[in-house]
Amino acid sequence: MNGVANLSLNADSRVGTIAFIDLKAQQRRIRQAVEKRLQAVLDHGRYIAGPEIEELEEKLAERTGAAAAVSCASGTAALIIPLLAEGLDTGDAVFIPAFTYNATANAVLLTGATPVFVDIDPATFNMDADDLERRIGEVRAEGKLRPRAVIPVDLFGSPADYTRFETIAEREDLFLLSDGAQSFGGRLNGRWVGDLAPATATSFFPGKAFGAYGDAGAVFAHDKAMVDHWASIRWHGTDNARKDSIRVGFNGRMDTFQAAVLLEKLEIFDDELAARHEIADVYSRRLSNIGRPQTHITGAQSGYGYYSLCVKNRDAVVSKVSAMGVPTAIYYAKPLHKMDAFAAFAPEGGLAQTERTADEIFALPMHPYLTPAQVDYICDAVEAAVS
């Protein structure tokens, strides 16, 4: 305990206050540019569908390699829009991991479809393709639901195994939708998230690696033919002239202020992504021998929206590092199939790897403005807490 106590006493003098996510440091870097962008919006007064929206969509598509990008109001809206476009309805089964944020399940249920929970790979923390195949077979054998879609989640920024999932989706005639809410900036075999599935949903929630100053999101498409359909759904299902309802939709638009902020953040994103990779490299080098960090599949590079580690006696470790001035978070302490809202869809027998990981996982500070001294101190604290 002496090492823990000494770290606790010396944290401020050694490294200053450590932030889990430091949006203030980022804002100091881009404040003037953002204010200029926001002033331009105030001057033209097009707070909805301003020119910044189209500019952002074009730059997002160019940045990711997607055929097109459609901005929207949130990451949840980004999931709902392509599911509605595919005609998901009552009686349809959508396969999702139980180890993710509740937005994935909510999006499925809001279309009227039924979520079918799939276990995770204990190394990658992403959907287990073998378990997916088992669940599809079970649903077909039971005959109560129609398998219609699968939504892998790129947890913490690490791309799921889209080569495998694409093969399964094609064979089983499933719509493949990527939940890339945490993985903007991730790559798989040289292709960016946004260009790894027919449709990719992402979130620009402020705490994301690429975040707005409010709720916002986007959907990326392989096929430009989907753009008008998706854009119509986000605008109450109206046509391009906004005069006639041609399908069911909702208010899923991104406001122009958020697009203005994101345009400036995009200018520094590659620099910030490089810094995230440097921090993750130190964490992995220092901590892999005392915990179980996320493993990335061959050819994958994470966007490092978060950096999580699994350890025995997680709660005790978290308490100790907190006492040493290191903030943490737990993503996710309770899997979706254990939550009241989704318990009716819990698979018989549970999900062993999901439940084990939920008991052991916690996230370390991850943002581009951590100093090398702070990163070393965080590693020192975790090592001291685990020993």
* pLDDT tens digits, one per residue of 281-339: 999 999 999 999 999 999 999 999 999 999 999 999 999 999 999 999 999 999 999 99
Measured CA to CA, the distance from residue 266 to residue 256 in angstroms comes to 15
pLDDT at 387: 87
Tell me if 98 sits within 8 A of 335, measured CB to CB: yes
Instruction: Summarize the confidence of residues 349-366 as an average pLDDT.
Output: 98
Average pLDDT, the chain: 96
Q: How many other CB atoms sit within 10 Å of the CB of residue 243?
A: 8
* CATH number of the domain located at residue range(s) 2-21+267-386 in this protein: 3.90.1150.10
Sorting pLDDT into bands at 50, 70 and 90, what band is 41?
very high
Instruction: Summarize the confidence of residues 51-78 as an average pLDDT.
Output: 98
In this chain, the answer to whether the domains covering 2-21+267-386 and 29-264 adopt an identical fold is no
* CATH number of the domain located at residue range(s) 29-264 in this protein: 3.40.640.10
- Those residues with Cβ within 8 angstroms of residue 2's Cβ, 6 or more apart along the chain or in another chain: none
pLDDT at 1: 39
349-362 burial code (b ≥16 CB/10 A, e <16): eebebbbebbebbb
Upper half-sphere CA count for residue 330 (Cβ side, 13 Å): 18
3-state secondary structure of 113: coil
Measured CA to CA, the distance from residue 39 to residue 27 in angstroms comes to 16
268-296 burial code (b ≥16 CB/10 A, e <16): ebeebbeebeebbeebeebbeebbbbbeb
pLDDT at 2: 43
Q: What is the DSSP letter of 73?
A: S
Measured CA to CA, the distance from residue 231 to residue 81 in angstroms comes to 9
Res. 37: pLDDT tops 70: yes
Measured CA to CA, the distance from residue 249 to residue 244 in angstroms comes to 12
pLDDT at 203: 98
Tell me if 244 sits within 8 A of 254, measured CB to CB: no
Nearest to 363 by CA among 326, 335, 334: 326
Whole-number percent of the chain with pLDDT over 70:
97
Measured CA to CA, the distance from residue 270 to residue 274 in angstroms comes to 6
Instruction: Summarize the confidence of residues 340-369 as an average pLDDT.
Output: 98
Structural domain spans, the chain: 2-21+267-386, 29-264
pLDDT at 14: 75
* pLDDT tens digits, one per residue of 192-235: 999 999 999 999 999 999 999 999 999 999 999 999 999 999 99
Sorting pLDDT into bands at 50, 70 and 90, what band is 153?
very high
What is the pTM (predicted TM-score) of this model?
Answer: 0.96
